[in-house]
Amino acid sequence: MHILILGGTTEARRLAEHLADGAPRGLRVTNSLAGRVAAPRLPPGEVRVGGFGGPEGLAAWLRAHAVDALIDATHPFAGTISFNAARAAAAAHVPLLALRRPGWVPVAGDDWHAAASLEEAAELLPALGARVFLTTGRMGLAAFAALDRQWFLVRSVDAPEPPHPPRMEVLLDRGPFTLEGERELLRRHRVDVLVTKDSGGAATAPKLTAAREAGLPVVVVRRPPVPEGVPVVADPAAAARWLTDRLDRA
């Protein structure tokens, strides 16, 4: 049985590790990475890097490599590849599962402001603060490029490229992050507003606690929906059980 995991996330890597540790005989796992990170953490199993050429290219790859099941374990905001995967799986008649970590939920004391997109987040900022901690990654900074009155601390794994905000400091770092570290970062840079995507998970959640403690507003960009009709699980163990069920039936 050949499994293709569309990965690049912690959940995808943990699923690959889970399958590598207890994989039934004859189970082949291929991990696909988009290639947007210069030095990704490679999962066990076969690894391919780069795009497929849209849904038609992915469907052709599924057929050519006799893929029996496709798992979309990409980032919650990698919307294009998720819809491409749904179209490709349908065309190639390959079962598809989406693995998505649960989103964050506000708690008492949070001052969250929801935004449907990065552009909408940028529109909210002038009324919320002047010193912005921007943790939405290096992609999409063009949405904030017109804001010349705000100062931005941009944290990303790799260095961003233009267009980006004119007043900006870049912090190259990779999670997981600690609560104490996030507290110190907000204090040292005198941050007065945080912008984040609703990525979910524990690795980058301490910034939300630090912002709550400091009484800072947080602009939270809502994640795009999973394509209609695609089953969703919230953790690698559930994805492994889904695969085991399919393998048992096969």
Q: What amino acid is encoded at 53 in this protein? A: G
Summarised one tens digit per residue, pLDDT across range 133-161 is: 999 988 889 999 999 999 999 999 889 99
Summarised one tens digit per residue, pLDDT across range 176-209 is: 999 999 999 999 999 999 999 999 988 889 999 9
Claim to verify: residue 127 and residue 154 sit in the same structural domain: yes
Claim to verify: residue 143 and residue 93 sit in the same structural domain: no
Say what angle helices 206-214 and 179-188 make with each other, to 10 degrees: 50
Spatial distance between the Cα atoms of 76 and 30, rounded to a whole number of angstroms: 20
What domain count does the chain have?
2
**pLDDT at residue 117, rounded to an integer:** 95
Claim to verify: residue 70 and residue 17 sit in the same structural domain: yes
Residue 242 domain boundaries: 2-102+225-249
Summarised one tens digit per residue, pLDDT across range 27-68 is: 899 999 987 666 677 888 899 998 999 999 999 999 999 999
Claim to verify: residue 203 and residue 231 sit in the same structural domain: no
**pLDDT at residue 8, rounded to an integer:** 86
Q: What is the CATH number of the domain that holds 173?
A: 3.40.50
**For residue 132, what is the enclosing H or E element?**
strand 131-134
Task: Give the 3-state secondary structure of residue 48.
Answer: strand
Spatial distance between the Cα atoms of 27 and 93, rounded to a whole number of angstroms: 19
Identify the burial level of 26 via C-beta atoms within 10 angstroms of its C-beta, where 0-12 means exposed, 13-18 middle and 19 or more buried.
exposed
Phi, psi dihedral angles at 19 (to 5 degrees): -70, -35
Claim to verify: residue 93 and residue 14 sit in the same structural domain: yes
**For residue 155, what is the enclosing H or E element?**
strand 151-156
Spatial distance between the Cα atoms of 177 and 200, rounded to a whole number of angstroms: 14
Q: What single-letter DSSP state applies at residue 227?
A: P
Pairing of strands 111-115, 131-134: unpaired
Which of 18-32, 50-64, 114-128 bottoms out in mean pLDDT, i.e. has the lowest? 18-32
